[in-house]
Amino acid sequence: MGPSQHDSTVSTNDKETLWVVPKLATDGSNWVTFKIWFLFAMASHNIDRHFNGSDTPLPTPTYTTLDEIKWTTANHNKSQAYLSLVRRWKHDEHEAHAQLAQVMSDSLLIKIQHAGMVADMWNTIITEFDRKGYMVQVDLC
């Protein structure tokens, strides 16, 4: 018997399997568990704040002058630090986009693709599927 994709004895050293989250069913029937698994996986890679909107792009710093030729060393250092943080934020935002795209149906991905930031995409999904999740819960009672 070979290893299963859903093997419950996953090694914590296997970083790739920590990202494995089942796709969200088109009808939302697995929404409740999907949402939990997905958010836990995103938190394990420190990008969960991109989904709730609490990790936003940094505001542009203020400099003593807008003319870069006249910048002081402090302005150059501030600019370098800012650019480094912006690159990291963009990387994490793109990673969050990629992770979200991998677990969506094609039709849902097309629907949310123009939402902009990941938080906007996630809010669209939550709005649609929390409602469906409640309907499924009512059917189960």
4 in any annotated domain: no
Domain residues for the domain of 79 are 27-56+75-140
On the question of pLDDT at 85 being above 80, the answer is yes
133 in any annotated domain: yes
Which residues have CB under 8 Å from 85's CB, separation 6+?
Answer: 58
pTM of structure: 0.77
97 in any annotated domain: yes
pLDDT digits 0-9 by tens, 104-137? 999 999 999 999 899 999 999 999 898 875 555 4
- Phi, psi dihedral angles at 37 (to 5 degrees): -60, -45
69 in any annotated domain: no
9 in any annotated domain: no
Domain count, the chain: 1
119 in any annotated domain: yes
